[in-house]
Amino acid sequence: MSLNLNKDKLDTILANFWIKGTLLHFSPLGQGHIHDTYLVEVEEANEIKKYTLQQLNTRVFQQPELMMANWVKVTHHLSHKLMKLEGEKAIRQCLRPVSTLTGQYYYRSSSGEYFRIYYYIDNCQTIETVSTPDQAFEAGRAFGLFQKLVADLPASEMHETIPYFHHTPYRFKRFLQALDQASVEKKTKAADVISLAFQFQPLISLVVDGLDSGCLPLRVTHNDTKINNVLFDIETGQGLCVIDLDTTMPGSSLYDFGDLVRTATCPAAEDETDLSLVVMDIDLFRAVADGYLSQTADLLTSSEKELLIQAGLLLTYTIGLRFLTDYLEGNLYFKTKYPDHNLNRAKAQFKLLESMQAQQREMRRVINDLLKSFD
């Protein structure tokens, strides 16, 4: 999807929102896989105001109204609770949507495109790959706080915006279908990672069975807790605000912790091609778990705590499957920069998974020590 944004089109979009003033500048923003995102600067009463504009990807979010209903509910819930906790500081700690003239929080163009706008949070940065334990701790703390703040939001009030998003048995079934239909060339190029996909099959039902049986609680969860979905304050380094709330829906806390471990414990990029660099750093794991549990130790059930170690392996496996499946299907879901991009992403995920598997005993010691410290 490409927005192909020009000034006339942007003026039309902005005219439908409660934004006054003169458009000064707009430019692409971020490196997200799904939506097209822009920074928009407007001069209003001799003051420059900044906004984030997104065109929603309706191929991925096929019911954008339901996704936006979730998004608005969560942003308002977080804003209300953070204002009580932090006062005016909360302005920089949560997304604040801008309403349209009709009172909605999205605009649908005559050609069927969906747009939303929220206030840009200045003096922040995103981090694509973690480099220090402090960054890992702050990412863990930010997502742990998010989990704590939405704990009283009933999962029954949230829509499932992408069916089977982290449902690993479904993802494995999709993988098998893609494998059956893929070309011989693709299957040959991906032979090693395909073999690993079958090798780690025992992980598949780890969380799904627990949710189905009621052993694990169904919660409102973020479901995309990559480290680059935290805004870090440039001056203090604090994990300031959790962003990309589109997949916030019913799920398991283990999905959130697992994806956090996947992205905040490895200093290599998600698409790193030098696989010798793709390892889980146990010090980064300790930091991210410390940050997350500093907010959630009193919230999580004993069943959830017991599976914290496997959560990282499960989500790394699940995302690896999704990258591999998308490669086999022709790169239909994730944005790619070259034909084998998703294959390289899949290879990196399975290499990381092997590194996690080799360090499970030490990971268990870390979690046990942290849980004792929070008792």
Which pLDDT tens digit goes with each residue over 270-294? 999 999 999 999 999 999 999 999 9
Q: Taking the CB of residue 62, how many other CB atoms lie within 10 A of it?
A: 12
Give tens-digit pLDDT for 10-66: 889 999 999 988 888 898 887 666 788 999 999 988 899 999 999 998 888 899 999
Euclidean distance between CA atoms 134 and 74, whole angstroms: 27
Q: Are residues 308 and 346 in the same domain?
A: yes
pLDDT value of residue 335 = 83
Q: Is the pLDDT of residue 102 over 60?
A: yes
pLDDT value of residue 1 = 39
Q: Is residue 96 one of the residues assigned to a domain?
A: yes
Given 83, 101, 122, the domain boundary residue is 122
Q: Is residue 166 one of the residues assigned to a domain?
A: yes
Q: Is the pLDDT of residue 5 over 80?
A: no
Q: Are residues 117 and 151 in the same domain?
A: no
pLDDT value of residue 333 = 84
Structure tokens at 140: 């863990």
Q: Are residues 150 and 102 in the same domain?
A: no
Q: Are residues 237 and 359 in the same domain?
A: yes
Q: Is the pLDDT of residue 266 over 80?
A: yes
Q: Are residues 58 and 149 in the same domain?
A: no
Q: What percent of the chain has pLDDT over 70?
A: 98
Q: Contact at 8 Å (CB) between 42 and 21?
A: yes
Domain ranges, residue 34: 7-122
Q: Is residue 249 one of the residues assigned to a domain?
A: yes
pLDDT value of residue 2 = 45
Q: What is the mean pLDDT of residues 159-188?
A: 96
Q: Are residues 246 and 324 in the same domain?
A: yes
Q: Is residue 250 one of the residues assigned to a domain?
A: yes
Q: Are residues 34 and 175 in the same domain?
A: no
State the CATH number of the domain containing residue 102: 3.30.200.20
pTM of the model: 0.91
Euclidean distance between CA atoms 217 and 25, whole angstroms: 46
Lowest mean pLDDT among 68-77, 116-125, 135-144, 329-338: 329-338
Q: What is the DSSP string of 221-266?
A: E-S---GGGEEEETTT--EEEE---TT-EEE-HHHHHHHHHHHHS-
Q: Are residues 188 and 106 in the same domain?
A: no
Average pLDDT value over all residues in the chain: 94
Lowest mean pLDDT among 15-29, 214-228, 240-254, 342-356: 15-29
C-alpha distances in Å from residue 360, one per residue of 22, 129, 371:
56, 22, 16
Q: Are residues 169 and 286 in the same domain?
A: yes
| Higher pLDDT pick, 22 / 198 | 198
Give tens-digit pLDDT for 316-325: 999 999 999 9
Q: Is residue 79 one of the residues assigned to a domain?
A: yes
Q: Is residue 127 one of the residues assigned to a domain?
A: no
Report the SS3 class of residue 132.
coil
Give Cβ neighbours of residue 310 (< 8 Å, ≥ 6 apart).
Answer: 203, 206, 254
Q: Is residue 128 one of the residues assigned to a domain?
A: no
List residues bridging with 239 in a β-sheet: 232
Q: What is the mean pLDDT of residues 343-349?
A: 98
Nearest 5°: the CA angle 302, 141, 28 is 130
What is the count of structural domains for the chain? 2
Given 78, 94, 122, the domain boundary residue is 122
Q: What is the mean pLDDT of residues 256-269?
A: 96
Q: Is residue 260 one of the residues assigned to a domain?
A: yes
Could you give the dihedral angle defined by the CA atoms of residues 288, 291, 293 and 296, in that order, rounded to the nearest 10 degrees?
-120
State the CATH number of the domain containing residue 164: 3.90.1200.10
Q: What is the mean pLDDT of residues 295-310?
A: 97
Q: Contact at 8 Å (CB) between 170 and 260?
A: no
Given 77, 95, 122, the domain boundary residue is 122
Q: What is the mean pLDDT of residues 169-183?
A: 97
Q: Are residues 171 and 249 in the same domain?
A: yes
Which region holds residue 234: left if phi is over 0, alpha if psi is between -120 and 50, else beta? Answer: alpha
290 closest CA partner among 311, 264, 314: 264
Q: Are residues 78 and 201 in the same domain?
A: no
Q: Contact at 8 Å (CB) between 130 and 267?
A: yes
Q: Are residues 96 and 159 in the same domain?
A: no
